[in-house]
Structure 1
Amino acid sequence: MASDGEQAAPKGEEDHLTFGEKVKRELREWGATLAVFVPIFLIFSTLLYEQRVIPSESMVPTLQVGDRVAVAKFAYGYDRYSLPFSWGRYLPIGKGRIFARDPKRGEVVVFEHPHTGRVMIKRVIGLPGDRIQMIGEELYINGEPIESTYDRTVRYKPHNETRSVTAREYRETTDDGKNWLTYRQEKGDRGDNTVLFVVPAGHMFMMGDNRDNSLDSRFLSGHCPPVDGVVDQVGCPLSVEAERASVGFVPMDHLIGRGETVIMTLHRCKLEDNAACKKRVWRGL
């Protein structure tokens, strides 16, 4: 019993609720939270940034499996491929981009594979009208070899493999000063020498930085057949199953965004021979 001058505290509201009523109230509160949060998330990931996790070795050493990359959705404008979770391919949205801007050579971009719909990440090497060719491992753009400087030789274990591989690391630099690192493993790989590619209007030529482990625009499986050693057309039927096709020439309207920053990573450094590892957290591309 409460003493004089004291008043017993009222019994809490929850003490009067059954278990089922408590569950219903929690569900209502969660529903109200999601009703606010989900639209904000969708707007942010459609118009501003989204996160992508790197699934393959094709962009090593720039990007490793497990890297979480911030993708700027506004970099090249918006179209149906800008919608999160690839919803654009299922909605009746017309072709074309608004606020369209073309990428620059050397930028790392995220896009949908023209033949399979998979989300890919590669580096832009060729823009409309460019003539691209690989000759003896060297990249030629418009008849001139790009500046390529040997950096070091490293040994590392590829993702989910136990054997180590040796890679020669080169730094490639464009005429405007944009540069990036590439890995080259075995000389004479089928991507080291190619036919001449002339990039059609509205398309891009893509390459992975891991030159011997990237099914990119160098390979004919995603292209029209060459005529007199030149590929300059799009729209031909594939000669292989779509899942085995390279990205070919990638249409501009398949762009999703520009890779900006490695936010964080689950990748663990596996370089051998005491080679130094590159910074993996909050690193610009």
Structure 2
Amino acid sequence: MATDGNTAEQDETVESPSLGAKLKQELREWASTLAVFVPVFLLFSGLAYEQRVIPSESMVPTLQVTDRVAVAKFAYGYDRYSLPFSMGRYIPLPEGRIFASTPTRGDVVVFEHPHTGRVMIKRLIGLPGDQVQLIGEQLFLNGEPVETEYLRTVRFVPHNDVAIGTSHEWRETIGDKSWITHRQEKGGRGDNTDLFIVPEGHVFMMGDNRDNSLDSRFPSGHCPAIDGVIDQAGCQPRVPANLASIGFVPMDHLIGRAETVLVSFHKCKLQDEEPCRKRVWKGL
């Protein structure tokens, strides 16, 4: 009985950990967790998939502002632009791409703007050697009009606006891929272009929202046209870099292929009781 009493008395005298000790223990546990989680996250986002948030309306109706998009980093191989957080611009890595593969016309591609370093997302229209031109809104590829079908006219409220806009929806098809574009009335500055011949090692990009996308159609990011033909890359922009179009995009600037809209916080603002398209887990 005496022994049991002494044990109980000793148990009662054990001191509880101080607040400082508890905080140190909690911090050690968090540090251990982060030491494992951060490298795994960086490895996954650098080699497999990463999430990107759509900041503008240049790819409407395919992508809306606030869409969270899953980007396959392995789609075209890896180079310095594949690193997460654009770290490749600050780390002295060798040029070139490993496990390189050629994109497909119609892919929705995430890439770095050749003149500004901003991360962009557009649709790939032209591969090296392709001839691309727009005449009266009609897209021509290698001298042939791209298959185009009118779908409907929609009225909607643009992002961060209150005025109602109107767009005509057209389906374009190249090979086994098709997508929907938004066009407004004819006469926009991107409706008629020079003839672009895509140089080796580059691609030609366009936004699906044809009247709200500063893409490869516009000359400000290109070398000067000669007799109405633009077939060179690597010139300095004709305007301040932050105002320049993307021009021809080098293959080594490609980050990955956008594959799925994971979730969107975009609020549908179509008018005239038009139905809204699916915005969650939507393949591209």
Asked if these proteins are the same fold (TM beyond 0.5), I'd say yes
Give me the whole-angstrom Cα distance separating, in 2, the residues matched to 1:177 and 1:102. Answer: 16
Structure 1: gaps of 5 or more residues: none
Aligned to 2:80: 80
Give me the whole-angstrom Cα distance separating, in 1, the residues matched to 2:159 and 2:16. Answer: 56
- TM-score normalised over the length of structure 1: 0.95
Aligned to 2:250: 251
Report the CA distance shift for 1:21/1:226 in structure 2 as closer, same or farther (over 3 A).
same
Shift of 1:136: 0.1
Alpha carbons 1:186, 1:212 under 8 Å: kept: no
* Ranges of 4+ aligned residues in structure 1 off by more than 3 Å: 7-13
Q: Deviations over 1:71-123 (max 9, x none)?
A: 00000000000000000010000111000001100000100000000000000
Corresponding residue SS for 2:25: helix
Alpha carbons 2:221, 2:236 under 8 Å: kept: no
Report the CA distance shift for 1:12/1:80 in structure 2 as closer, same or farther (over 3 A).
farther
Alpha carbons 1:116, 1:242 under 8 Å: kept: yes
Shift of 1:23: 1.1
Give me the whole-angstrom Cα distance separating, in 2, the residues matched to 1:209 and 1:94. Answer: 34
Alpha carbons 1:203, 1:252 under 8 Å: kept: yes
Aligned to 2:195: 196
Q: Which residue identity lines up with residue 207 of structure 1 in the other structure?
A: M
Q: For the aligned residues, what is the CA RMSD?
A: 1.6
Q: Which residue identity lines up with residue 108 of structure 2 in the other structure?
A: V
Alpha carbons 2:133, 2:139 under 8 Å: kept: yes
**Are 1:284 and 2:283 matched, yes or no?**
yes
Give me the whole-angstrom Cα distance separating, in 2, the residues matched to 1:158 and 1:53. Answer: 17
Give me the whole-angstrom Cα distance separating, in 2, the residues matched to 1:236 and 1:251. Answer: 13
Aligned to 1:117: 117
Q: State the identity as a percent.
A: 69
Give me the whole-angstrom Cα distance separating, in 2, the residues matched to 1:44 and 1:164. Answer: 42
Corresponding residue SS for 2:154: strand
Aligned to 1:22: 22
Give me the whole-angstrom Cα distance separating, in 1, the residues matched to 2:268 and 2:12. Answer: 58
- TM-score normalised over the length of structure 2: 0.95
Give me the whole-angstrom Cα distance separating, in 2, the residues matched to 1:207 and 1:123. Answer: 5
Q: Deviations over 1:159-191 (max 9, x none)?
A: 1111110000000011x2210000001210000
Give me the whole-angstrom Cα distance separating, in 1, the residues matched to 2:236 and 2:31. Answer: 48
Q: Deviations over 1:179-229 (max 9, x none)?
A: 000000121000000000000000000000000000000000000010000
Q: Which 10-residue stretch deviates more, 232-241 or 212-221?
A: 232-241
Give me the whole-angstrom Cα distance separating, in 1, the residues matched to 2:91 and 2:63. Answer: 32
